[in-house]
Amino acid sequence: PNMKLDKRVVQRRIALLQEEGIDFICNVAVGTDVTADQLKAKYDAVLLAVGATKPRDLPIEGRQLNNVHYAMTFLGQMQRALFNQNPELMDNCISFRTPFKGNKDWKVVSDGTYIDVKDKNVVVIGGGDTGTDCTATSLRHGCKSLVNLELMDKPPDSRDDVANAWPAYPRIFRTDYGQEEVKDRDGKDPRKYAVMTKRFMDDGAGNVKAIEIVNLKVARDDNGKPTIAEVPGSEQIIPCDVVVLAMGFLGPEQQLLQDFAVETTPQSNIKALHGSNGDGFSTSQKGIFAAGDCRRGQSLVVWAINEGQRA
């Protein structure tokens, strides 16, 4: 989102890559506009760096109701609307004509091209960076209320030296920009921990009107692996007009992998070794390589950069 990443920063990196001799060909869907066979015939090597874009769904009662959206649908439509409705600011970003433009400089009006949650009760299911971006975007729309649901229990304020010993990444309580902004507006943190969504409730006209959740008892076994169990009698109803699913991603789009006929892992990622030796990042198909989230699964951008460079 714009408030998180100034588009001049993106354009600066693209310009550097272009100066190094890279051609960026946009608006091309591999498998539609150009086939995998055409790419393999034209180039000696093809690197698949397509990310892990298949969203995790929540197949429970009422999932078919209107106004239950995937996070990337919500965020993607918003970003495209900002670009389309602010061509001058976008041109300024590309040409570096202006200093940093804050989010308030990018104006947008509800024109039906994006999911507008102004004056609506919003529930975001799932934490992490994507859930935070959905929270912050909803707030900028002017949502009436916002609740953010997390499956796991609230992390401790300090590291558990047994279950989360150094040098593992510390699982501790953190507050990101989206939650800080909701706290500033509404006076409280929007997150509810250790809860599971049981069903989406119908308003009688095919729209979601509420969700039913249940509290969970979260524990860890001797190996530190989390275990969860429902708490009997803890069911709650949360009224809502819009639900955003931000529960992570399951891997790359499978049709593309089928087009290239590459082997996959049990987690549906592309099967390829990690490393910079002769076999590093090679797939089951000669001349086809894979790097980043499509190979290792949903991860951080620093890993994508690392793997792209090594590949």
Alpha carbon distance 60, 64 (integer Å) = 9
Confidence of residue 278 (pLDDT cuts 50, 70, 90): low
The rounded distance, in Å, linking the Cα atoms of 169 and 161 is: 12
Of 4-8, 100-104, 304-308, give the lowest mean pLDDT range: 100-104
For the purposes of burial, counting CB atoms within 10 Å of the CB of 36, is it exposed (0-12), middle (13-18) or buried (19 or more)? buried
**Is the per-residue pLDDT at 217 higher than 80?**
yes
What pTM was computed for the model? 0.89
What pLDDT was estimated at residue 83? 87
pLDDT at 164: 85
Provide the pLDDT for residue 104.
Answer: 62
Does the pLDDT of residue 218 top 70, yes or no?
A: yes
Question: Does residue 125 have a pLDDT over 90?
Answer: yes
Tell me: pLDDT of 192 over 80.
yes
Confidence tier at 175 by pLDDT (50, 70, 90): very high
The answer to whether 117 and 143 have CB atoms below 8 angstroms apart is yes
Angle at 190 between CA 189 and CA 196, to 5 degrees: 130
pLDDT given at position 4: 84
Q: What pLDDT is stored for residue 139 in this prediction?
A: 95
Question: Tell me: the pLDDT tens digits for 53-112?
Answer: 999 999 999 999 999 999 999 999 999 998 899 888 777 766 655 554 455 667 889 999
DSSP assignment letter at 114: S
Q: Is the model more confident about 5 or about 180? A: 180
42-56, 134-148, 160-174, 253-267: the lowest-pLDDT one: 160-174
Which of these ranges, 128-132, 163-167, 172-176, has the smallest mean pLDDT?
163-167
Residue range 5-31: mean pLDDT, rounded: 89
